[in-house]
A and B are shown apart, each in its own frame.
Chain A
Amino acid sequence: MPGQEISGADILVKALVDLGVDTVFGYPGGAVLPVYDSLFQQNQIRHILVRHEQGAVHAAEGYARSTGKPGVVLVTSGPGATNAVTGITDALMDSIPIVVLTGQVATQLIGTDAFQECDTVGITRHCSKHNYLVKETAKLGPILHEAFHIATTGRPGPVVVDIPKDVQVRTAVYEKPDLTVHKTYHPRIEGDRALIERAVAMLAKAERPILYIGGGIVNSGPRASELLRELAALCRAPVTSTLMGLGAFPASDPQFLGMLGMHGTFEANMAMNQCDVMLALGARFDDRVTGRLDGFSPMSRKIHVDIDPSSFNKTVRVDLTIAGDVGHVLADMVKLWRAKKLKPANQEEWWLRIRNWRSRDSLAFHQEGQAIQPQYAIRRLFEATHARNPIITTEVGQHQMWAAQHFGFEHPNRWLTSGGLGTMGYGLPAAIGAQIGNPDALVIDIAGEASIQMNIQEMGTASQYRLPVKVFVLNNEYMGMVRQWQDLTYEKRYSESYSDSLPDFMKLAEAYGWKGIRIEHADELDAGIAAMLAHDGPVFVDCMVVKHANCFPMIPSGAVHTDMLLGPDQQDGIIGKEAEALV
């Protein structure tokens, strides 16, 4: 009935329904009890109860990244909000669209150090794309609609809406607002036509072109990935991807060079170094990608397509910048290329060099005997599952890099990992969110024994909602990436990087109602993976791998792309004092 006043809590639920939200990840508490009561009395929105608010945010990220829809989080004030901060920051760094609804103490108590009060908008100002403190119930509906608009358009990101308890209780009229033009927020979607023409001309003339793609392609939607495939087929350029862009271009395509950067392939980094025209699509020249800047792709002319103009010329000087949604720009580029009937320049010599670099086989490893090489475990997991187009999440560390290197992705939205912030503990809750959004998909968290413990409490969430997520731990009893850097920089002084006092993961799995599978020897690997896949429920696989394997290739910090370490024989004492200060 129009014109009828309802409570702020009911407005919130109605607005979420109007916005197409079907799932909320959250945890109740004093300052959001009115909203939880409204949720109790409806059946259009499903609430997923996590075990820790950080888990709620990562689950929302996993849901968003795997479905393309915004993830929604509901937490209480004070510790509820501060526990969410890591996830919010993670979503900001990786441009993941989520809306985080936080309860707040009543407006008259704000600023009095009330119970479970914290300055949520102050704390999240730097780690959200935008945030709001809702001071009047009548403004709640319009603010929620605006929050979703801002989270999902332009460069996506997290938006926080802080809602005092009295605002949830008071009543106002709610009407679905018209989508009017925002007074200040107008992200640029279409690229400048003249600039796109110049870019296409540069690309067509290039003798050593490369497409350097990133997470922006995935964010733009599945169409952008299709258009990227079309452009690559037209221009014949090799394609390399950032960690966040994996899946936007098929790993099996002969034009794909694999991931670039610190743990990228030899061919990807050499091609970046030697190219004459670089087309960066939805990637941001992160320091993990560029290595030392003065040696980064010194001979190329660089074209940068990004929806966020602040990404231009931030660290690397580029020659042509195109602000716009990469999907739209790709569509224009493909159209132009076809309309002008362009042909790629002669790239014969370029591909000869690339084939040469490829023949180094930089991801090779040596599986021998019963001790399991971590790369081998990933390869076997890939072989056993890729036909099912699984969704893979990861934690952060060596296992993450090995997964990125050895698990081939053919489609976007199937690879969920914490790239920018590097958040250990991301993988399990992200897998839960992905499974909620894709009930029929095979969802696997490739994890390390250290990272998994950072949000291991979320096993209970998977149990509660009967989510058949699989956790596949590469257990080397070390915080492997920390130890790897200690190998490289600190003469093997393994300060606090040993995973001491590990729990018995099999008993833990049993305690949570999961199936536990322990794999110790190489000849058990395939059977263990098969048993994991055969079980229609959550499974925890504890796969013991060799303890001292390190992740190669590696560009040590402070080095340039051409200075890759290709194996452990090159690693000792490699990093000098100057580079030690770099991250």
Chain B
Amino acid sequence: MAPVPASLFPAEAPEAHTLSVLVDNESGVLARIVGLFSARGYNIESLTVADVTADESVSRITIVTSGSRRVIDQITAQLNRLVPVHSVTDLTLLGPHVERELALVKVEGSGEKRVEALRLAGIFRARAVDTTTHSFVFEVSGSTSKVDQFIALMREVGLVEVARGGVVALSRGAEPQEA
């Protein structure tokens, strides 16, 4: 049996992981999750939550976090320790899954800038959901990087403010997440 050189973990670069957490939809459950992340010093890059069953008894919390594999394993183990947690799936580890984010983007401008904003929105398949003579609110959805890109471009043509929904994600294929 080959001895390990040390009890330390190999140095690893942090990587982003998307965790899908099914929880009992009871009061305080979000505070438990968020509190766990802050108490143990884990990152939250994005977090979304909504109930997802017909009887509103179960919520899905989608968390994008980052850390080394060891930290991600710890986060998963710590989440599983919480009593109202049904299951934790690391979609990044699982492999094929879809991730989407929705953003509302307000831009203001007239003339050429306004035309350019509308043209770019078309390329990104963003919809104008509110219009005045000198502004738009676009709805854009897609991967986080696509939303990032769209917002970066809108900065050039009169961005006023942004509301982002955070990442939602599901595994591909017919199987649901283990409840």
Name A's B-contacting residues (CB within 8 A). 121-122, 125-126, 129-130, 133, 150, 183-185, 202, 205, 276-277, 290, 293-302, 308-310, 312-314, 316-317, 319
Contact = CB atoms under 8 A, between A and B. Distances in A.
A309 B3 contact: no
Contacts, number: 73
Contacts of B28: 121-122, 125, 133
Contacts of B39: 126
Given A298-B7, A319-B4, A185 B78 contact: no
B8 A301 contact: no
B166 interface: no
Q: In the A-B complex, list the 6 residue pairs whose CB atoms are closest, starting with the nearest.
A: A310-B77, A296-B7, A130-B83, A316-B7, A299-B3, A309-B77
B83 A185 contact: yes
Interface in B1-32: 1, 3-9, 24, 27-28, 31-32
A388 to B, nearest CB: 40
B177 interface: no
A233 to B, nearest CB: 24
B21 to A, nearest CB: 11
A34 B135 CA distance: 62
A458 to B, nearest CB: 31
B8 A150 contact: no
Contacts of B146: none
B81 A183 contact: no
A312 to B, nearest CB: 7
Given A125-B31, A202-B1, A313 B78 contact: no
A312 B77 contact: yes
Scoring B4, B5, B24, B73 by chain A CB atoms within 10 A of each residue's CB, the highest score goes to: B4
Nearest to A298: B6
B113 interface: no
B86 to A, nearest CB: 5
A201 to B, nearest CB: 10
A96 B30 CA distance: 26
B70 interface: yes
Interface string B52-95: 00000000000000000010011001101101111000000000
A133 B26 CA distance: 11
B73 A298 contact: no
A266 B39 CA distance: 35
B85 A302 contact: no
Scoring B7, B9, B31, B81 by chain A CB atoms within 10 A of each residue's CB, the highest score goes to: B7
A153 to B, nearest CB: 11
A298 B4 CA distance: 7
B86 A293 contact: no
Contacts of B86: 183-184
29 contacts: A121-B28, A122-B31, A125-B31, A125-B35, A129-B83, A183-B24, A184-B83, A184-B84, A184-B85, A202-B1, A276-B1, A276-B3, A293-B6, A294-B6, A298-B4, A298-B6, A299-B3, A302-B7, A310-B74, A310-B78, A310-B80, A310-B81, A313-B9, A313-B73, A316-B7, A317-B4, A317-B6, A317-B7, A317-B9
A205 B31 contact: no
Given A293-B8, A301-B3, A317-B8, A150 B31 contact: no
